[in-house]
Amino acid sequence: MKNQSIFLPAFLLPFFLISGIAAAQDVTFETKDVEISKVFRDDAIRGTQAWNLVESLTTEVGPRLAGSEAEARARDWAVLNLNNFGFENVRVEPFMIEGWRRGEETAAVVSPFPQKLAITSLGNSVATNPNGIEAEVVLFESLAALKAAGEGSLEGKIAYVGHAMQRTQDGSSYGHFVRLRSAGAVEAGRRGAIAALIRSIGTDSHRMPHTGNMSYSSDVTPIPIAALSNPDADQLERMAQRGEKIRIALTLTPSHTGVVESGNVVAEIPGTDLADEIVVIGGHLDSWDLGTGAVDDGAGVAITMEVLRRIRDSGLKPRRTIRLVLWGAEEVGLLGGYAYLDKHQATIRKHVIGTESDFGAGKIWKITRSINKEAEPVADKIAELVEPLGIATGSNDARSSGPDLTPMNAMGFPGFRFVQDGSDYFDLHHTPDDTLDKIDPSALDQNVAAYLVFVWMAANSNVRNWGWTSAD
C-alpha cells in the first residue's frame, strides 16, 4: 500500500487562515481561498490515496463493461467507499441501456500465407454466423478510400481499412481516426461487404487490438466488424503488396442482451450561502472488458474521489455544492452523460462550472477552458496556482470539459479541462494492456493537487456566471 499523506488537520486551518491574511484580493476571489488552495496543493503533492483507490477498483472489481454485472459491482464499490468517506447525498441514478457482450473472436489468413491474426470485436458489432465466414479481403488505405469505392463493389467480400494514427501529447489525432471505427461497418456494408476489419485506433506496436464502440445505420444491413492489432494490420498490408488475393476466415460471436441497467453514482459536499450552485467533477466507472480499466478510467475515478475526500476531511465548507459524478456507460456512447443531463435538466443552469478526468493517468501539462471575461481573473489565478506543478495555460476555446460533460457543453455549459500527458494513452486505450502497472502514483498525486486548486477556487469564487453561452 502506498503511504498516505499527513493532511493538515481541520482544527489548524482556522488558525492558519487568520494569521495575517487580507480579506480580499480581487472582486472575483478571496485571498483566503488562494491560501487554502496552496495548502491543499502542497499537501497533495506529498502523497494521496488516489493510487490506493484505483488499485482497489481494478483489483476488487476489474473490467467493468457497460451494463454488466461487473459495472453494477463498481457502483456498489463506489457507494460503499463514498459512504465510508462520510459524503452526503450518496446515491445511484440508474438508467437503462442496450446490453452487449463479447463472444468468440478468431481470424486467420487462409491464403496465400496461412497464419492467425490478433483481432477483437468492436463494441455493438453483430456476429458472423456461428461457424464463421471465409472470404476475399479488399484493402483500403483510409476511410475516404472506402467511401470512394463503387456501390456493390465489395459484394461477398471483407473490407479492410488501414490508417496512420500518430502519437501526440494531447491525443488530438484521435478525433479524426476514430471516425473509421464508428463508420467503417456502415460504409463497407453499404458497398456489399459481408464483414469489415480495421486497423486498431491506437499508436502502439503490440499484438493487442483496440476495441471501442461503433454504430450502425438504419438504411444499411449490419455486418460484423473487428479491429486488427497494429502489427497484424502491417502483416496484412505486406501480404497485399505481393499482389496475391488474400482470403480470411473470421468468426465473431458477440451478442446483444436486451435492455439492462447502468447508472451514475453521485456524492456531494453541500455548500453554504451558494448551496444551490454546483461545481461538478468526476470520471466514468465503466471500462472495456479487455483490460482492467486502470487508465481508462479508473485513474479519473480515483483522482476525483480523492479530491472530494481531502476537502471533506479538511473540515472546510465550500460556498457552492461540490458534486462528484462517477458516470456509467461512457464507453458505449456517453450514455451516462446524457442520462445525467436528462435527469437534472430542471437545475442544469445551477451547474456553474465543471470538469472530468478521462484521459489516462499521466501528469497534467496544460489547462484549456471556454469561459467569459467575468471568470478570467479567477481562472488566471487557478493557472498561476497550478503552474508550480508544471502546468501551462492553454487556449480559451475548450469545446468540452470531458466526454461525459459534452452533452452539457453542447447546451452552453462553460468548459474547463486539465489536459494530461497522453503520449502513451493510445498505446493502452481499449486494450488488454490497460492495467494498474501502467500508473505512476506520483502522477496521480499531481492530478489531485491540480484538481483541488480548481475545485476549491471555483466553489468559493465570487463569479456567478463562468460563461453559459445561452444565459437568460
Q: What is the DSSP letter of 388?
A: G
Cα–Cα–Cα angle for 428, 237, 113, nearest 5°? 110
Residue 458: what are its φ and ψ, rounded to 5°? -65, -40
Active site residue 376: no
Tell the residue number behind the cell numbers 502502439, with chain if given: 204
Give the integer Cα–Cα distance in Å for 319 and 105: 53
Give the integer Cα–Cα distance in Å for 403 and 398: 12
3-state DSSP: the chain helix, strand, coil percent, rounded to 5? 35, 25, 40
Tell the residue number behind the cell numbers 499523506, with chain if given: 5
91 membership: H or E segment, kind and range: strand 88-101
Q: What is the DSSP letter of 364?
A: E
Which residues neighbour 457 within 8 Å (Cβ) at sequence distance 6 or greater? 29, 33, 34, 37, 378, 381, 382, 385
Tell the residue number behind the cell numbers 476489474, with chain if given: 62
Which residues neighbour 189 within 8 Å (Cβ) at sequence distance 6 or greater? 196, 220, 221, 222, 223
Give the integer Cα–Cα distance in Å for 329 and 285: 8
Nearest to residue 447, comparing CAs of 341, 346, 364?
A: 364
Helix (H, G, I), strand (E, B) or coil at 466: coil
Count the neighbouring beta carbons within 10 Å of the beta carbon of residue 442.
14
Is residue 462 a contact partner of residue 320, using CB atoms and an 8 Å limit?
Answer: no
Is residue 86 a contact partner of residue 237, using CB atoms and an 8 Å limit?
Answer: no
Q: Which of 330, 356, 376, 384 is catalytic?
A: 330
Residue 339: what are its φ and ψ, rounded to 5°? -65, -40
Helix (H, G, I), strand (E, B) or coil at 243: coil
Cell output for 113: 500465407
Is residue 188 a contact partner of residue 216, using CB atoms and an 8 Å limit?
Answer: no
Which residues neighbour 121 within 8 Å (Cβ) at sequence distance 6 or greater? 102, 103, 105, 211, 224, 225, 226, 252, 254
**Would you name the residues annotated as active-site residues?**
330
